[in-house]
Amino acid sequence: MKRLFILIAAAVSPTLAILAEEPVSESVHFEAEFAASDIFRSGSLVLPLARRIAFEGHHFGGQETDTGFTGVSCTLTWKGLTLTPGLGVLFGSNEFAATPAVSFRWEYERKWFITQGLVVQGFRETPIFAEKGEADSRSNREPASFVRPTISDGNHLSVRWR
């Protein structure tokens, strides 16, 4: 896993230097998105603060746990490709341990081809609990295991048919 991260960082570093040189258009528009069903809901808000810097808030909820990410991000654009790394805090319900986290959003649109997505990676481990039985109470349950939370949302490729 560490090798993969180093490989990605080495590949992205020269690209970021090129992206930083591109002029950025001043945008005062915010982005908001909400989707819900009877078993899952998700919402995102991106508010521009200054030039390339923005406030981000993302919420993901299900029947067991609600999780969220709040932080700041910096948008880099180059030839239609938008890369947005961020830094913030990942938090949640159901005894989810709050943790510092990094986020990465991307968007690319060229004629009929569109891709966009979001990945959030927490640094600290959070407990995972076994399914709650009738005799169990939240105060005396022991974690079944621990994980470093990763959220991957909206990662897709689309084709616009004209």
Token pair of 24 as six digits = 């950025």
- Give the tens place of pLDDT for each residue, 13-30: 333 443 444 444 555 688
User: Domains of the chain: which residue ranges?
Assistant: 30-130+141-159
DSSP codes joined into one string, 18-51: HHHHS--------EEEEEE-SS-EEEEEEEEEET
Helix, strand, coil proportions of the chain in percent (round to 5)?
A: 15, 55, 30
Give the DSSP H/E element, type plus range, for residue 156: strand 150-159
- Give the tens place of pLDDT for each residue, 75-91: 999 988 999 999 999 99
Contacts for 153 with CB less than 8 Å, ≥ 6 apart: 42, 58, 60, 117, 118, 119
- Give the tens place of pLDDT for each residue, 94-122: 788 899 999 999 999 888 888 999 999 99
